[in-house]
Amino acid sequence: MLDRKFQCKMLRNLGMKLKYTLGLLFSLSIFYCSSLIFANDLMVEMGIQPPKIQLEAPSFSLQDLNGKSVSLADYQGKLILLNFWASWCGPCLEEMPAMQAAWEKYSEQGFIILAIAGDRGSSKAVRKFVSKLKLTFPVLLDPDGDVRNDYEVMALPTSYIIGRDGKIAGRVARSKDWASEKANALIESML
């Protein structure tokens, strides 16, 4: 049987460990919540609409320019910028260099760009566009518009931000400077 002094000491130590653990969990939850609020504030400042209810991003599988099948599920747990565009779209042409810059800066940290081309018919114009701009992020082909319809895209370019949890965090239906200070802060807060 343990003596009373030793039992009291053990309980105090256990209490201190419990206080430390609860304090740490509280601090982490405050940090997580504040980073979500910060990310939402940045999205609003950038004109990106956060949804009222965060839903799972619709899954899809499309071919890239090399004929390889790529699915959204391949990037589970990553921060994804899903961009719908077309080679004939002027604003799409304007935002692509900034997207490339963001890709080069953050891809090693788990930031993924999936650019879904809405061009109908041959992929020749898409290939020319990608080559001209020296784009290195994944470019996928949606010639029938099925994925574009699933995401209710009405104008090009339209971009979705999909969080690491696989849920839609925001949507914007116009070009953005994805290499701006605000965009960098947004990406960093969500990584």
Question: 74: Cβ–Cβ under 8 A, 6 or more apart, which residues?
Answer: none
Angle at 47 between CA 115 and CA 81, to 5 degrees: 20
User: How far is Cα 161 from Cα 113, in angstroms, rounded to an integer?
Assistant: 10
| Tens digits of residue pLDDT in 134-154 | 999 999 999 999 999 999 999
Q: Report residue 109 CA to chain centroid gap.
A: 12
State both tokens at 184. Answer: 């960098």
* % of the chain at pLDDT higher than 70: 80
* % of the chain at pLDDT higher than 90: 71
Q: Which residues pair with 34 in a beta bridge?
A: none
Give the position of tokens 């963001």.
Answer: 102
Domains and CATH numbers, the chain: 48-190 (3.40.30.10)
User: How far is Cα 50 from Cα 168, in angstroms, rounded to an integer?
Assistant: 8
| Tens digits of residue pLDDT in 40-82 | 788 778 889 999 899 999 999 999 999 999 999 999 999 999 9
- The answer to whether residue 119 scores a pLDDT higher than 50 is yes
Q: Is 89 a catalytic residue?
A: no
pLDDT band at 179 (very low <50, low <70, confident <90, very high): very high
Element (H, E) at 159: strand 158-162
- The answer to whether residue 31 scores a pLDDT higher than 60 is no
Closest CA to 158 of 129, 150, 181, 166: 150
The helix-helix angle for 4-46 and 181-190 (nearest 10°) equals 150
Closest CA to 40 of 175, 180, 190, 191: 190
| Rg (the chain; Cα; Å) | 22
| Arithmetic mean of pLDDT, 24-33 | 44
- The answer to whether residue 22 scores a pLDDT higher than 90 is no
Structure letter (DSSP) for residue 103: H
Cis geometry, peptide bond prior to residue 97 (ω within 30 degrees of 0): no
- The answer to whether residue 110 scores a pLDDT higher than 60 is yes
State both tokens at 99. Answer: 């997207």
State the catalytic residue, choosing from 8, 33, 89, 92.
92
Name the pTM for this structure: 0.79
